[in-house]
Amino acid sequence: MFKSKKLSSLMLALVLMSSSGFSVAAVPANVASAIQAVQNSVAGTPQAAEAERALLEAVAASIAANPSAAAEIVSAAIAAAPSAASTITSTAITAAPTEASVITTAAISATVTAYSTSVSATPESISAAVASVTSAAVGAAAGIAAAAPGATQASIDAAAASVTQAAITAAPAYTAAIVIAANTASTAAGGTAAGTITNTGTTTGQTPVSAG
């Protein structure tokens, strides 16, 4: 689906990163090398699967070593491997939990760009991709909050809401899909209840949410 668009998507992401104030040089050599391997692989082959696995390892290691470069690394990785966007996102958040919101913003933006430039892009496919990345981000952030000493439902809700707000900020046109995905993921991680996260990315206890 994305094979013909890999290089152009990556270049577009790098241009957007530069124009947004991100440092393209912040993408470390091991991640750049892994991205090149993904671009040189054929989708659906064992080589491609191995290349994506190596990319995830490079993303995790690089972000853990330099959390401040998380946005640049995630953007470049998703541009190269859009189908792995959700896994890239959760891997990045796990590597640098304090950067969860920044990572989510970068991941959602990169996902929308990648899927929008696909030859088979539809509003539904983009919305589904955004929802998937949101679910991964909220699931990772809420899961980390749930595992923290002294965790409460309120602390889990807060972590989920913060990430949700970042996703909505990155792609407000997909707020409905983001909110639904976020509430499902938050509840699965131990949040208060579905409907906790509103369409502005805040928590409101048991108040049902409008996903419009």
Residues 36 and 84 in one domain: yes
User: What is the distance between the alpha carbons of residues 63 and 165, in angstroms, rounded to a whole number?
Assistant: 22
pLDDT tens digits along 132-156:
999 999 999 999 999 999 998 888 8
Find the domain containing 6 and state its range.
1-96
pLDDT of residue 25: 52
Residue 87, domain member (yes or no): yes
Residues 5 and 92 in one domain: yes
Spans of the chain, pLDDT less than 70: 1-25, 192-212
User: What is the distance between the alpha carbons of residues 177 and 95, in angstroms, rounded to a whole number?
Assistant: 26
pLDDT of residue 190: 82
Residues paired with residue 203 on neighbouring β-strands, in sequence order: 197
pLDDT tens digits along 25-56:
578 999 999 999 998 999 889 999 999 999 99
**Whose CA is closest to 201, among 164, 170, 167, 169?**
164
79's enclosing H/E stretch is helix 70-80
Question: How close are the terminal C-alpha atoms of the chain, in Å?
Answer: 30
Q: Rounded to two decimals, what is the model's pTM?
A: 0.82
Residues 87 and 126 in one domain: no
Boundary of a domain, candidates 96, 114, 145: 96
Residue 116, domain member (yes or no): no
Is residue 10 within 8 A of residue 39, CB to CB? The reply is: yes
